[in-house]
């Protein structure tokens, strides 16, 4: 399996995309809102992707809930993670059960279309970062651990593995790494005791299957952004925290990564730092440069390959059958009641 995850441009594959998916370096594909028109189209697109891909490709999306939900019409509207605690209290719902049900719902709907993973949940503190904001569960690390753990348990019940992002924490830096190069100037002790403690605790529970490091520089630890840093990935995450899951780079075309050189250099650096799979999104020419610039024999080692294959789903649930299940009807009723109550205000 190859170490590169790419995207595609629209509702159907272009001839060039069909050729690219046959390349040995391609191990994953991420879907965006632009790839979704309706459920029939999505099903056809995914079937075609699997047909033309040389490798047993890992299919992913960002379907966190709230403002980051790639597929809307026909899918359940998942609340923002930062609203869960408030919603459960306002509507007198058991918080842990509600959070677990939402994790299950988010995951099971994607699995019905053979999408293996959603890059979720966000484990960042809902702090000063506007790009994180209510994507984070709470301001308190203890509450984040509580809620995220339940959400992950729901995902796992559905048959999906969890990806915690953005290690070691993006919530306490103002700049958005999509458009800037954020620098978190807090002390190592502050970062470790606050933000990173969330990742550490969830990993101790055995609930962290994958991690996506932040395109953020923490100069008291290393001068390199976490996703390009051997110190962060190999020493702190792997050795100190004992993390054994998959490490995905964040999108290498983001502004927070450009200081690391050209797109090929970024890919090489991320892989060398310890990322099992690197993402190049929203930059078709950049993806082609990486494909042409990396040696074709840059395949995952056996351990990385085993880790990534462990994220593949074996679920074969049908969406229409799913919608008739009692578990689905129960959470759908709760979400409908919340929506009705909001509209009546």
**Catalytic residue positions, numbered:** 178, 250
d(CA 5, CA 249): 10
d(CA 159, CA 155): 6
Please choose, from the candidates 217, 210, 250, 246, the residue with its C-alpha nearest in 3D space to the C-alpha of residue 232: 217
Q: Compute the C-alpha angle 81/84/85, nearest 5°.
A: 125
Could you tell me which residues come within 8 angstroms of residue 3 by beta carbon, excluding any fewer than 6 positions away? 25, 27, 271, 275, 276, 277, 278, 298, 299, 300, 304
**163 CB neighbour count, 10 Å cutoff:** 26
d(CA 130, CA 109): 28
d(CA 290, CA 7): 13
Q: Compute the C-alpha angle 128/132/138, nearest 5°.
A: 75
- CA contacts within 13 A on the Cβ side of 18: 9
Please choose, from the candidates 104, 100, 115, the residue with its C-alpha nearest in 3D space to the C-alpha of residue 70: 115
Please choose, from the candidates 312, 315, 339, 342, the residue with its C-alpha nearest in 3D space to the C-alpha of residue 27: 312
Q: Is the distance from CB of 64 to CB of 98 less than 8 angstroms?
A: no
* Biggest CA-to-CA distance, the chain: 60
In a 10 Å sphere around its CB, with 0-12 CB exposed, 13-18 middle and 19+ buried, how is residue 61 labelled? Answer: buried
């Amino acid at each position: 399996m190859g170490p590169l995850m790419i995207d595609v441009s629209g509702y159907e594959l272009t001839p060039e995309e069909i050729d690219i998916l046959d390349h040995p370096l391609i191990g994953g594909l991420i879907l965006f809102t632009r790839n979704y028109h309706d459920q029939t189209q999505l099903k056809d697109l995914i079937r075609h992707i699997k047909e033309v891909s040389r490798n047993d490709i890992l299919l992913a999306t960002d379907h966190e809930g709230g403002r980051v939900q790639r597929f809307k019409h026909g899918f359940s509207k998942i609340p923002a993670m930062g609203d869960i605690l408030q919603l459960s209290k306002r509507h007198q719902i058991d918080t842990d059960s509600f959070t677990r049900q939402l994790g299950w719902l988010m995951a099971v709907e994607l699995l019905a279309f053979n999408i293996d993973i959603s890059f979720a949940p966000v484990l960042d503190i809902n702090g000063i970062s506007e790009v994180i904001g209510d994507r984070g569960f709470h301001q308190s690390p203890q509450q984040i651990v509580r809620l995220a753990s339940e959400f992950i348990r729901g995902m796992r019940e559905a048959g999906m593995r969890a990806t915690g992002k953005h290690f070691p924490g993006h919530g306490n830096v103002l700049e958005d790494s999509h458009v800037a190069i954020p620098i978190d100037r807090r002390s190592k002790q502050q970062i470790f005791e606050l933000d990173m403690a969330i990742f550490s605790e969830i990993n101790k529970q055995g609930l962290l299957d994958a991690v996506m490091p932040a395109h953020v520089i923490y100069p008291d630890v290393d001068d390199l952004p976490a996703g390009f840093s051997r110190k962060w990935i190999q020493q702190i995450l792997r050795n100190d925290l004992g993390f054994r899951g998959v490490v995905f780079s964040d999108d290498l075309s983001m502004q927070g990564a450009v200081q690391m050189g050209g797109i090929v250099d970024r890919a090489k650096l991320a892989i060398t730092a310890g990322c099992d799979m690197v993402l190049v999104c929203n930059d078709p020419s950049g993806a082609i440069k990486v494909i042409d610039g990396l040696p074709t024999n840059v395949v995952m080692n056996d351990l990385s390959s085993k880790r990534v294959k462990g994220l593949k789903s074996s679920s074969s649930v049908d969406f229409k059958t799913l919608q008739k299940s009692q578990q689905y009807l129960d959470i759908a009723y709760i979400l409908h009641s919340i929506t009705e109550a909001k509209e009546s205000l």
